[in-house]
Amino acid sequence: MASLLIITSVENLQNEINKVVSSFKNIPGIYVSLNKTQKSIENILKKTEINTNKLFFIDCVTSEKTRDDVLHISPDQLDLLSSAINSFIKDIKGEKFLIIDALSTLLIYNDENKVAKFVKGVTEYASQNDVKVIAFSPETKGEYLLNKIFNFFDKVKKR
């Protein structure tokens, strides 16, 4: 299954995410939020008339548990985050997708090598399990990281 890294401006980031999420109509997905709370992401998606019923959220921004169906994992716990993603992938039957927004945010909490290892592990596991992976990164941050992780994706697009 294909993996895609989308590098875009900070201003376009949410629009690009909205386009991708809306393209997966009625397909369950995992949304790893690194730069906004699950609640704000869900509100933004609903405003653009995107159904969020089939999205499983992993919120790495807030630690406060507001709903039972949302996982809250600190962005410095990459092993736990990876394990949670893998569990979701195993638990969701049939076609599915994984979205990771603002990958470069992980650099605030982790060193580049750790983030690159995390991205490599997630993309490999997703590929082995026929999961489409779409990761986003603002073009202004983390260029060294981007150079390290380009190879882990089937396609890289600058928008």
DSSP notation for 25-92: TT--EEEEESSS-HHHHHHHHHHTT---TTEEEEESS--S---TTEEE--TT-HHHHHHHHHHHHHHS
Average pLDDT for consecutive 10-residue bins of the chain (159 residues)? 88 93 92 93 92 92 81 95 96 94 90 93 94 89 74 91
User: Which pLDDT score is estimated for 24?
Assistant: 92
Count of domains in the chain?
1
Number of residues that this document lists for the chain: 159
The CATH number assigned to the domain holding 54 equals 3.40.50.300
Locate 33 and state its tokens. 């939020």
Per the structure, the complete domain to which residue 43 belongs is given by 3-158
Look at the pTM and tell me if it is higher than 0.85. Answer: yes
User: Which pLDDT score is estimated for 25?
Assistant: 85
User: Which pLDDT score is estimated for 33?
Assistant: 95
Q: Side chain identity at 30, as an amino acid letter?
A: I
Going by the DSSP 8-state scheme, the letter that residue 105 receives in this structure is G
What is the C-alpha separation between 121 and 68, in angstroms, rounded? 27
User: Which pLDDT score is estimated for 142?
Assistant: 57
